[in-house]
Structure 1
Amino acid sequence: MNKFWVIALDVYKKNIKSISFLIMILVPFIAVGVFYVIGLFMDGADNEDTIAVYANEPAIAETFAAQSNDDYTFEVVASEAEGEAQLADESVKGLLVITAAEDQLSGELLSESSLGQTTELTIQQLLSGLQSSLRADALGLTGEEVGQLAEPATFSKQKVSFDEDGAMTFGEDHSDMQYIVSYVATIILFFFILTYAQIIAQEIASEKGTRIMEVILSSTRAQTHYYAKLTGVIMVAATQLLAYAAVFGGSYFWIKDIPMISSFIANFSLDGIFGSFMVFSLVFVFLGILIYAVLSALCGSLVNKAEDTAKAIIPVTYLSLAGYMLGLVLGAADPNNIIMRVTSYIPFLSSFIMPVRLANDTVGVGGALVSAAILLASTLALMLVSAKMYKSNVLIYNDNGLIASLKQSIVLMKNEK
């Protein structure tokens, strides 16, 4: 056990003292700060864009120009040629030519460079609104009647449950906030898998590449070395998670009064988060990191040198990417899809998908427990098999790829029995 902790602590101390670990800790906060500064700069440097407007009916051009807002100023020009001249000398950003034929409007935006989809969509909406007003006038409708026609239907959703007698009761719906939490958990899991898969594979492959592994295995058991390396890297990942939790927890009392944050928090109740949903989310994130770390260690033990680890962890990358895309894309579009229901019980994928299903209330606590049990059993089984193969894996030097190395390792392991 003493050798175990010597190896594990050596891996832990070496990684947390590295510059790369410090960068991993700081990158999210630097990114947030950069986006915040960019936002402030854009707000301060944002100027109104002037767009010249010409219509074959001057009254329509005047009516359209009256709809100017804080982002765009529409300036009426007497002729299309005048608008083109202003566009040529860059006194306006664009020229909007409106053609009116009875109650039908069509617009053409001329510009030297794209004004962006937001601007184009805004102009299209303004034209559609003006066209609706013209048609309402032609039909003899009042402004109040037009408003009644445009009034949207009321829609709301309510979470319900049924007791043993079939009586329905209403409950508070926390699915929106829970989905945000599951979304963040999925991103964090994917980020940690990609990061620590590379680290643990390099930890093992670097010693194998220097041919020092024979000396190490002569003084300690292969399984002890394997579990110690795995534990050291998991400790590094846990330290990073705790650092994020401490920083965000400590900064909450500072950022909670920011208008955007306070308005966001006011719309949600934390009661639906800090309960079974949060517990299961943390369990699936932890087990997801662990099972991918075990797979990465297995892949790393099959390569000859550290430079080959990028190729070795390709299975890890593709598996995690599949879970990530299913959880975020399909989970948002149709959380009750048959693919989501099936893959939420498949190891390597369930750690991404089950939190999304829990957030959308498409699975109960019983289903989550079954999925977690399957994931835990699969992780332990993979860990035992990997530890058993570890000794033969690290003593094989094969340049014919992972599959050939794995076959040779299995043959060697059978011969040692």
Structure 2
Amino acid sequence: MNKFIATFSQTYLSKVRAKSFMISTLIIVLVIFLGANFDKIINLFDSSEEITTLQVESDEAFHAQFEAVMDSLETEIDVAQSDGEIGTAEALLRVDGTDPLAVTLEADQEIPGDQMTDIEMALGQVQRMMMIQSLNLTQAEAERLNASPDITYDIAAQSGEEGEASGSAADSEDMPEANLLNTIVFYITVIVMFFIVINYASQIGTEVAMEKTSRVIEMIVSSVAPVTHLLAKISAMISVSLTQLVIFIIAILIAIQLFDFREIISDFGLEANDQTPIMITYSVIFLILGLILYLSVAAMLGSFISRMEDLQQALLPVTMLSLIGFYIAIFNIWSTSDNMLVRISSYFPPFTPFVMPLRAIHEDTGQIPLLIGVAILVVSIILAVLLAASIYRNSVLSTSNGIFKNLKRIRKE
């Protein structure tokens, strides 16, 4: 146990003290804090200042309609009758004609884009109301004028069965829309997992392969059992990756405490629902288990080679499998929970960490598939660690060149 701790500590401290670890961590933390102040950064490059009062030069009827519409849009602009002068943080809306509606908007400063959008939307609604009044339409006729068409799909499928295509169209219309906050959590999970896997899988593979190619391993195994040494290396690299992940989480929590996110949340419409806690919990679980699985496999593949030139070839399965899982998850984000590709790939261990968080977004997935995914990853990790230990023990002192030669030799043994 003392030898395990010594190897673990040496590997862990050497990695967290490395300049590459510190620089990459610092960059991501800065990106987190910049993202937390995204609205303030945009305002630095926006020379326009919000207007507080919009004076309207028109008759009483137009002013009343326009003010009512602006109030319904819940803008922070006060609508007032024109007094002939434009003060600071004010604008003047002059009505030049009503059939058709023509207006002139005057201001001493540039008006922000969101306020311009509100004013234009309000003018559009007022114009429709004036058109309805000029045509002397009843309330029922006005509602019919604004009603959407009732479309029934009756498209023959290629197989010749009627109604099949219309059924699929109806299914697409009934497909539940994923919560935006849950979708963002999912994107963050799979992107962070992909980049950490690629980064640390390469590091642990290089660490194991470098010891073998430099023959340092001959001195190490004389005092430490090969399996103990490998497990200490894997545990240390997993701890380094989790340390970096914890630093990112702490930075996010600090940013939440220091900066006001209410404006950003309101602008993007981010709201949690009943599925959000479940989504976050399983995302963290699959993120951790996915890192452990891929790093264990990378250590196993690194133990195959005897030359550094073969390292990229040995780690190619890790890169390809993680890339495929990443793309399956990303490109099926708007699909239904019963998508056949998503369901099958979620039970395939290399893809489970990427795809299962996608299934956790949908409320109809249930707890059983998610728990099965956790069990699959736990069993896969145990098998990967045992297999890596066995291969490492049999190939640690091998000088055979090439991965396939080592595989043949290990199989014979």
Query: Normalized against structure 2, the TM-score is what?
Result: 0.66
- Please name the residue that 1:316 is paired with: 318
2:362 is the alignment partner of 1:365? no
| CA distance in structure 1 between the aligned counterparts of 2:136 and 2:324, rounded to whole angstroms | 55
- Please name the residue that 1:98 is paired with: none
Q: Summarize the Cα distance change of 1:223–1:43 in structure 2 as closer, same or farther, 3 Å threshold.
A: same
Match of 1:273 among 268, 272, 276: 276
- Please name the residue that 1:149 is paired with: 145
Deviation at 1:391, TM superposition (A): 2.5
- Please name the residue that 2:197 is paired with: 193
Deviations 1:331-387 (A, max 9, x none): 323432111111111101011111110111242111111121122111211210111
Deviation at 1:232, TM superposition (A): 0.6
Deviation at 1:37, TM superposition (A): 8.2
Deviations 1:176-208 (A, max 9, x none): 433332222111211211111111111111212
- Please name the residue that 1:392 is paired with: 394
- Please name the residue that 1:299 is paired with: 301
Q: Summarize the Cα distance change of 1:9–1:141 in structure 2 as closer, same or farther, 3 Å threshold.
A: farther
Residue identity matched to 1:355: P
Deviation at 1:327, TM superposition (A): 1.0
Deviation at 1:256, TM superposition (A): 3.6
Deviation at 1:293, TM superposition (A): 0.4
- The structure whose RCO (Cα within 8 Å, separation 6+) is larger is 2
Structure 2's unaligned 5+ residue stretches are 49-96, 150-176
- Please name the residue that 2:230 is paired with: 226
Residue identity matched to 1:408: K
Q: Is the 8 A contact 1:175 1:361 kept in 2?
A: no
| CA distance in structure 2 between the aligned counterparts of 1:250 and 1:43, rounded to whole angstroms | 22
Q: Summarize the Cα distance change of 1:37–1:247 in structure 2 as closer, same or farther, 3 Å threshold.
A: closer
Deviation at 1:2, TM superposition (A): 0.9
| CA distance in structure 1 between the aligned counterparts of 2:210 and 2:282, rounded to whole angstroms | 35
Size of the aligned set, in residue pairs, is 328
Q: Is the 8 A contact 1:350 1:371 kept in 2?
A: yes
CA RMSD, 1 decimal: 4.2
- Please name the residue that 1:184 is paired with: 188
Q: Summarize the Cα distance change of 1:259–1:279 in structure 2 as closer, same or farther, 3 Å threshold.
A: closer
| CA distance in structure 1 between the aligned counterparts of 2:270 and 2:280, rounded to whole angstroms | 20
| CA distance in structure 2 between the aligned counterparts of 1:314 and 1:64, rounded to whole angstroms | 65
Match of 1:206 among 210, 218, 221: 210
Deviations 1:215-234 (A, max 9, x none): 21222211111101001101
2:241 is the alignment partner of 1:237? yes
- Please name the residue that 2:14 is paired with: 14
SS at match of 2:221: helix
Deviation at 1:408, TM superposition (A): 2.9
Residue identity matched to 1:149: L
| CA distance in structure 2 between the aligned counterparts of 1:370 and 1:222, rounded to whole angstroms | 33
2:295 is the alignment partner of 1:329? no
- Please name the residue that 2:343 is paired with: 341
Residue identity matched to 1:295: V
SS at match of 2:306: coil
| CA distance in structure 2 between the aligned counterparts of 1:143 and 1:32, rounded to whole angstroms | 55
- Please name the residue that 1:114 is paired with: none
Deviation at 1:237, TM superposition (A): 1.1
Residue identity matched to 1:27: I
Q: Is the 8 A contact 1:25 1:240 kept in 2?
A: yes
- Please name the residue that 1:287 is paired with: 289
| CA distance in structure 2 between the aligned counterparts of 1:414 and 1:338, rounded to whole angstroms | 36
Residue identity matched to 1:240: Q
- Please name the residue that 1:215 is paired with: 219
Deviation at 1:24, TM superposition (A): 2.3
Query: Normalized against structure 1, the TM-score is what?
Result: 0.65
Q: Summarize the Cα distance change of 1:257–1:333 in structure 2 as closer, same or farther, 3 Å threshold.
A: closer
Q: Summarize the Cα distance change of 1:335–1:23 in structure 2 as closer, same or farther, 3 Å threshold.
A: farther
Q: Which moved more, 1:28-37 or 1:326-335?
A: 28-37
Q: Is the 8 A contact 1:331 1:353 kept in 2?
A: no
- Please name the residue that 2:31 is paired with: 31
| CA distance in structure 2 between the aligned counterparts of 1:313 and 1:205, rounded to whole angstroms | 11
| CA distance in structure 2 between the aligned counterparts of 1:268 and 1:181, rounded to whole angstroms | 11
Deviations 1:114-172 (A, max 9, x none): xxxxxxxx9xxx9xx9xxx9xx99xx79799788634569xxxxxxxxxxxxxxxxxxx
Deviation at 1:18, TM superposition (A): 0.6
Residue identity matched to 2:395: N
Structure 1's unaligned 5+ residue stretches are 49-58, 73-121, 154-172
Deviations 1:43-87 (A, max 9, x none): 555689xxxxxxxxxx9xx98997999689xxxxxxxxxxxxxxx
Residue identity matched to 2:292: L
| CA distance in structure 2 between the aligned counterparts of 1:301 and 1:194, rounded to whole angstroms | 17
